[in-house]
Structure 1
Amino acid sequence: MIPLRNRVVVDGDACPVKAEIAQTVRDCGAAALMVSSHNHRLVPEPGVEIVTVDAGDQAADLYIANAITRSDVLVTGDYGLAALGLAKGAAVLTPRGKRITEDDIDGLLAQRHHSARLRRGGKRTKGPPPFTEEDRARFLQKLTFLLRGMQENQLP
């Protein structure tokens, strides 16, 4: 089992920065827990624990919600899971490098709810823009900053 200090917990099903996370945790002396469904096969690497869950709709999210702790960094693009991570005291980072905080989670959840209502009503909503190398670089910078800050006991 991975120690609880300086751990990155990853919602691995649709995460475009898994390789970068693996390299960053090794560089920072941390560890990663990547959780995905059977539909998304992840390859174990040094410093990275892989957990595969059922293919159920929320199986990975439920596993992560139960595993996350105050000393973790959660990487997810799912605002519902981000809210659960924040409630447990974890730092939350999207794969695009945006830090999600208590100050903005309510607005993000409201936006998600509004978009879901539009889609249920037959409207088309705009998806996210294509993932770029700038997104990747921003993510790496923010993750490294969070892990180094945690090691120095300066960040939650």
Structure 2
Amino acid sequence: MSSSIVVDGDACPVKAEIVKVAKSGGVPVVMVSSYDHRIEPVEGVRVVQVDRSSQSVDLYIVNHIVKGDIVITQDFGLASIALGKGAVVLSPRGEQYTNGNIEYLMERRHESAKRRRAGGRSKGPKPMSDADRDRFQQKLTKVLLDMQEKDDI
């Protein structure tokens, strides 16, 4: 398999889980973050640091992914573009972004932003739980296995 796992690393809470699954599957990992976030290099992981402007990580990822890569991000905009480039996209909670659900997620984000601008409040995301981490790890493992099966055909 020539795919890589490319991680929007600035706020990714499942870095250790990604490294563990990637290592067992023999898949290289690229962690991309701004210089404001320190990511310790480990075996099998290439760390790329970019400038701290708001879209630098996203732009790097978009410009370097290829069809078949796996992108891990919480950013719906990045997820949408990555889907357009033929990547498999997962959230850190194990939700798979697809062409079928990304439009709804983007619309929901837009509505929440409008509500906040109008003075309304919205809840932030729930804290990551062990169940969330397990779900993510299971989903990433399943995606890798599915990709390997396709390569074997």
Query: Is 2:45 aligned against 1:57?
Result: no
Distance of 1:65 and 1:112 partners within structure 2:
21
Query: Is 2:69 aligned against 1:75?
Result: no
Counterpart residue identity of residue 62, structure 2: A
Cα deviation for residue 119 of structure 1 reads 1.5
Q: Which one of 7, 13, 28 corresponds to residue 16 of structure 1?
A: 13
**Contact 1:85/1:92 (<8 A) preserved:** yes
- Aligned equivalent of 2:36: 39
Percent of residue pairs bearing the same amino acid type: 50
Q: Which one of 98, 102, 105 corresponds to residue 102 of structure 2?
A: 105
Cα deviation for residue 6 of structure 1 reads 2.6
- Aligned equivalent of 1:132: 129
Moved over 6 A (4+): none
Cα root mean square deviation, aligned: 1.2
Counterpart residue identity of residue 73, structure 1: I
TM-score, structure 1 length as denominator?
0.93
Cα deviation for residue 122 of structure 1 reads 2.0
Query: Is 2:83 aligned against 1:86?
Result: yes
Distance of 2:97 and 2:111 partners within structure 1:
19
Distance of 1:91 and 1:104 partners within structure 2:
13
Q: Once the two structures are superposed, what CA deviation does each residue of 1:60-114 show, in whole Å capped at 9, x if it has no partner? A: 0111111111111110011000001100010010000011110001000000111
TM-score, structure 2 length as denominator?
0.95
Specify the SS of the correspondent of 1:103: coil
Distance of 1:10 and 1:82 partners within structure 2:
11
- Aligned equivalent of 2:120: 123
Distance of 1:102 and 1:61 partners within structure 2:
19
Length, aligned pairs only: 151
